[in-house]
Amino acid sequence: MNSLLKGDSGPMAEVWSHADDVSTTHPLGGRQEGWEEVRASWDGAAQAFSDGMVKVSDLSVHAVDGLAYTLGTEHVDAKAGGKKVHSDIRATNIYRREGGDWKMIHHQTDADRGIQEALGLS
C-alpha cells in the first residue's frame, strides 16, 4: 500500500492472486471483480494518490485450511487529486494459499467521502 500511495501499483500484482474470483472494494466506492478489474483499480489508485503513507492498527490475523484473513484500521495520509487527505479506514483482507504462497483474494474498506471529494467522485 505504501508503494501504491506513492504512485507505484507494481507490488500489488505480486501479492494478489490473478484468478477470476478475486474482488475488492476501495474507499473510492464501487466493487471490482476478477483480476483484470482489480488490477485496473489498483493502477487507477496509484495514479490518483501521491506522497502517501499508510499505517495499520488493531491488526488481527486468522488462518485455517489454506485461507486467512486480516482485520484492521488503515490510517492513510496522502495527496489525492493533489489535495491532502487523512483517513482512518476499517479494512478486511482475505488470502488463499496458492502454490505454497499466500495471495490476496479480497480487499474491503469503508467508502471514504473525504477521499471521494478530493478526487471529484462525489
Q: How many domains does the chain have?
A: 1
Q: How many C-beta atoms surround the C-beta of residue 30 within 10 A? A: 11
Which pairing describes strands 23-25 and 101-109: parallel, antiparallel, or unpaired?
Answer: parallel
Mean pLDDT of the chain: 95
Three state DSSP letters for 7-27: CCCHHHHHHECCCCCCEEECC
Question: What whole-number distance in Å separates Cα of residue 67 and Cα of residue 70?
Answer: 11
- Range with lowest mean pLDDT among 15-19, 67-71, 81-85: 81-85
The pLDDT of residue 91 = 97
Confidence of residue 66 (pLDDT cuts 50, 70, 90): very high
Q: Domain containing 58: what range? A: 4-118
The pLDDT of residue 42 = 95
pLDDT at 122 over 80: no
* CATH number reported for the structural domain that contains residue 105 in this entry: 3.10.450.50
Segment 33-53 mean pLDDT = 95
